[in-house]
Amino acid sequence: MKKLITLIIIISLVCSMTGCKKRKDVIPKVDSNKTDTLQEKEPIKDDSKGKEEKEHKYTDEDVTLDMTKLSTTMVFSQMYNLLAEPKEYFGKVIRIKGNFDSQIDPNNNKRYYGIFIMDSTACCTQGLEFEPYAKLKYPEDFPEIGDEVIITGEFNTYKEGDFNYCNLIKAEITKIS
């Protein structure tokens, strides 16, 4: 009888730790009106000089997940979650701080841009591809490889060949160092 009571107490304690409660979304649902506004925005044209605006200016209110405010361990884990659960983040505006890189895929001769972050022991790296908002020229309009940058963009998934990929589209690049 004593053992049964002890068992019930232990199971109750364990279950209370795993109990579910309604948690407010850490990533709030994207307002569809806001999304439409972002999608419809054209690069601002400076008629006087005939040059296109090279950046899309995201405000702090536009950003739904700001990873620049998280610790290295949290950023690495969140990045893993972005790639493991892409449906949760589709269409959300995400801001990430990391190191810039760019490579050409020899299979299709296409240049890709990415941002990379390391874990706390610096032995593991994760990265996310991004597409700049406006047509930028490489390398003049881009940071140097390895430069620390902040990328803000809309999370997206796409299919290329047989594989699904994740990236940030309409990305804004802010160089830090």
Partner 1 sequence: MNEIFQTLKMYFEYPFVTYALIVGVLIALCSSLLGVTLVLKRFSFIGDGLSHVAFGALAVASVLQLSNKMPMILIITVVCAVILLSTGSEGKMKGDAAIAMISVSALAIGYLLMNVFASSANVSGDVCTTLFGSTSILTLTPNEVWLCVGLSLTVVIIYTLFYNKIFAVTFDEEFAKSAGTKAKSYNLMIAIVIAVIIVLAMNLVGSLLISALVIFPALSTMKVFKSFRAVVISSAVFSVICAALGILISIVYSTPVGATIVAVDLSGFIFFTIYGALRRGVS
Asked if 103 is part of the footprint of partner 1 (rule: CB under 8 A), the reply reads: no
Residue 96 and residue 87: Cα distance in Å, rounded? 18
Which residues does residue 101 pair with via DSSP β-bridges, in sequence order?
114
Residue 29 sits in the site that holds partner 1 (CB under 8 A): no
Q: Which of 151, 88, 153, 79 is nearest to 117 (CA)?
A: 79
CB 166 within 8 A of CB 83: yes
Tokens 């972002």 locate to: 38
Q: Minimum Å distance from CB 144 to partner 1? A: 23
Query: Is 78 in contact with 119 (CB distance < 8 Å)?
Result: no
Q: Binding to partner 1 by residue 26, rule CB under 8 A? A: yes
Binding mask 1-20 for partner 1 (x = CB under 8 A): --x--xx--xx--x--xx--
Site for partner 1 contains 125 (CB under 8 A): yes
Binding site for partner 1 (CB under 8 A): 3, 6-7, 10-11, 14, 17-18, 23-24, 26, 69-74, 76-78, 80-81, 84, 119-121, 123-125
